Structure 1
């Protein structure tokens, strides 16, 4: 916000930003794959690496996996499934790679595919028909958020959600919504931030 405002408004957002050292980006993968998964397999998973280990070029020791429901032919053809994989990454790192970017992207892709082969029952790289990997660089191109910053502010026990940037600002008619405002990231958090702004707009008008 401080990059697209001026005067007192710019100063307000500059001061607010000082309270947060980093913002998440994401490494995501979309996979179309032949369905050889167990019949009663859950649709959502979080796969953890051994304690202390990290995914290369990422800022996480785990990946989230969501898969389409068997028979959902709107997302995949009969006998196929789609998988959406994501993990946290620091955007500034990916924008600093330059000529090393392609190699880093390939390395993290290979690492995650190997991890899925080891930990996700029924997953085999030989069954992959479509695979697309995205980084914060991709997300900036897709959604125009500065340096592909998607995923909100990293949460920790040391930072109370109550200290996050509020929806109302000192400037008449300007409200904030999204994953960097209270109550934070994820579909529930962002949805609630939208409801909160709606309530304030109605109350103030």
Structure 2
């Protein structure tokens, strides 16, 4: 906000941003395969890497996998499944690859596919029909988030939610919502921030 505002407004957001010097980015993969998965396999899985291992070019030691339901023909053709994979990554790092970006992106994709073959039941028997990878650079192009930051501000015990930026600002008619405002990331948090803005505008107009 400090970069797209001016004067007192820019100064306000510069001060607000001081406490929030970290932000998440994500590496994501979209994969379609034939359906070779056990019927009892949950739709949402978190795969932990071996102790000391991390996804290349990240500090992440786990991978999240969400799968389409069997027979969900809206997300995949009959007899196939879609997998959405994500892992945390540094937005700043992926915007400073200096000519090594494509090779690094391919290395991450290959690593994650290897992990899935090793640890996700049924994946080693599946034929990959479609695969695409995205980094924080991709996410910036897709959703215009600065440096491709997604997932809001990392929560910690040292940072109280009550200190997060409010939906109200000192400037008349300017309200804030999204994963960087109270109460934070995730669909419930972002939705509630929008509801807070709606409620405040409604109250002010009455």
Hey, what does 1:36 align to over in structure 2? 36
Query: CA distance change for structure 1 residues 158 and 50 in 2, over 3 Å: closer, same or farther?
Result: farther
Structure 1: 5+ residue stretches without partners: none
Q: 1-side partners of 2:52 and 2:154: how far apart?
A: 18
After superposition, the C-alpha distances for 1:17-74 in whole angstroms (9 at most, x for unaligned) are 1111111111010000010000121111111123443211123211111000000111
Cα distance in 2 for residues equivalent to 1:125 and 1:143? 34
Farther off after superposition, 15-24 or 50-59: 50-59
TM-score, normalization by structure 1: 0.96
Once the two structures are overlaid, the 10-residue window that deviates more, 181-190 or 63-72, is 181-190
Alignment match, 1:87: 87
Instruction: Give the alignment's TM-score, normalised by structure 2.
Output: 0.95
* SS of alignment partner, residue 167 of structure 2: coil
Structure 2 residue runs of 5 or longer lacking an equivalent are none
Moved more, 145-154 or 117-126: 117-126
- Aligned counterparts, 1:38-117, within 5 A: 38-117=38-117
Structure 2 distance, partners of 1:126, 1:164, is 44
Kindly indicate whether the alpha-carbon contact (under 8 Å) linking 2:118 and 2:124 is maintained by their aligned counterparts in 1: no
Distance 1:136 1:26 in 2: 6
Q: What RMSD over aligned residues (CA atoms) do the two structures have, in Å?
A: 1.2
